[in-house]
Amino acid sequence: MYKHILVAIENSESDRAVLNHVEPLARLTGARLLLVHVADGWVARHFDELKLRESEEIRADREYLARICDELVQRGFQARARLAMGDPATELTKVATEESVDLIAMSTHGHRFLNDLLRGATADRVRHNVQIPVLMVRALKSPVGASS
């Protein structure tokens, strides 16, 4: 069964949906969790090439990722975090290979047609570029008028 699960973290509400599915699976199988967030802003996409400093967005992403990882460790999971930078689908595929994971878990937003083109269809690109299973969890939409 699964021993090393990559969990794609977006730094959004959809993270809770994917973690709610992955946590019981990881407990059942004893899998290690690798939380990966891909910073994909302009600075992140040109970070190494232009030798840039971390942007506020990258620092916030790093802190968020560390916080989620710490929470999982406190609940007894073997977890670590990795921040990647660039195109999300490309980087998730690259990290999955480098880290020898045996499952990728990620949220999907259920976009269709034009929205898929505009938003890049990251989940679709990842599943076509890896040779391991990809668990896609539908992110929950907040009810209209609900407050956070």
CA 54 to chain centre: 20
Residue 144 has pLDDT above 70, yes or no: no
Rounded (5°) CA angle 14-120-123: 50
Confidence at residue 120, expressed as pLDDT on a 0 to 100 scale: 46
Domain span including residue 57:
4-138
What is d(CA 114, CA 72) in angstroms, rounded to the nearest whole number? 36
- Residue 144 belongs to a domain: no
- Residue 66 belongs to a domain: yes
Residue 63 has pLDDT above 90, yes or no: yes
- Residue 87 belongs to a domain: yes
CATH (domain of 120): 3.40.50.620
Burial of 48 (0-12, 13-18, 19+ CB in 10 A): exposed
State how far the alpha carbon of 143 is from the alpha carbons of 13, 33, 139, 146, 148, in Å: 13, 30, 12, 5, 10
Counting the structural domains of the chain, the total is 1
- Residue 64 belongs to a domain: yes
Residue pLDDT, tens place only, 24-35: 999 999 999 999
- Residue 89 belongs to a domain: yes
Q: Are the beta carbons of 113 and 126 closer than 8 angstroms?
A: no
Residue 147 has pLDDT above 70, yes or no: no
Q: What is the mean pLDDT of the chain?
A: 84
- Residue 148 belongs to a domain: no
- Residue 107 belongs to a domain: yes
Residue pLDDT, tens place only, 81-135: 999 988 899 999 999 999 999 999 998 865 554 444 444 478 888 888 899 999 9
- Residue 32 belongs to a domain: yes
